[in-house]
Amino acid sequence: MFIVDEKDKEFRFGDSGPKYLMKGPRTNFAIVQFQAGQDFQGHYHEIMEENFYIIEGEVDIYVDGVKHTLKEGQLIHIEPKETHYVINNSNAVVKMISTLGPYVEVDKIDVHE
């Protein structure tokens, strides 16, 4: 058992990207934030599946080239090997939860389009 306080962690890119509250041993759990216009490079995972649950705002998530616009209260499930790209095309901050599992330390393959 353990407790993590979000205020003790930082976003990967200062004011955006993932803020991991837990990495392994069986799953990852992160708060993800993007300012207006920010994005995260397209990638996929060989083994891990990923879920995004939108807490605040609206975000476009492309899965295998298909655009999905998600709003507060919606969840998207992304299977292993499905390429996904995230961009905040809105004028406001988007905040979401990300879970990845089963945990694999290195399982992200960048896609350059």
> Mind listing the pLDDT tens digit for each residue in 4-38?
999 999 999 999 999 999 999 999 999 999 999 99
3-state secondary structure of 69: strand
Q: Is residue 112 very low, low, confident or very high in pLDDT (cuts 50, 70, 90)? A: confident
Contact 37, 93 (CB under 8 A): no
Note the pLDDT tens digit of each residue in 80-110. 999 999 999 999 999 999 999 999 988 999 9
Q: Please, which residues have CB within 8 angstroms of residue 42's CB and are 6 or more apart in sequence?
A: 62, 83, 84, 85, 110, 111, 112, 113
Kindly tell me if the per-residue pLDDT of 113 is higher than 80.
Answer: no
d(CA 31, CA 15): 12
Q: Give the CATH fold of the 16-103 domain.
A: Jelly Rolls (2.60.120)
Q: Please, which residues have CB within 8 angstroms of residue 94's CB and are 6 or more apart in sequence?
A: 33, 34, 54, 56, 57, 58, 59, 88
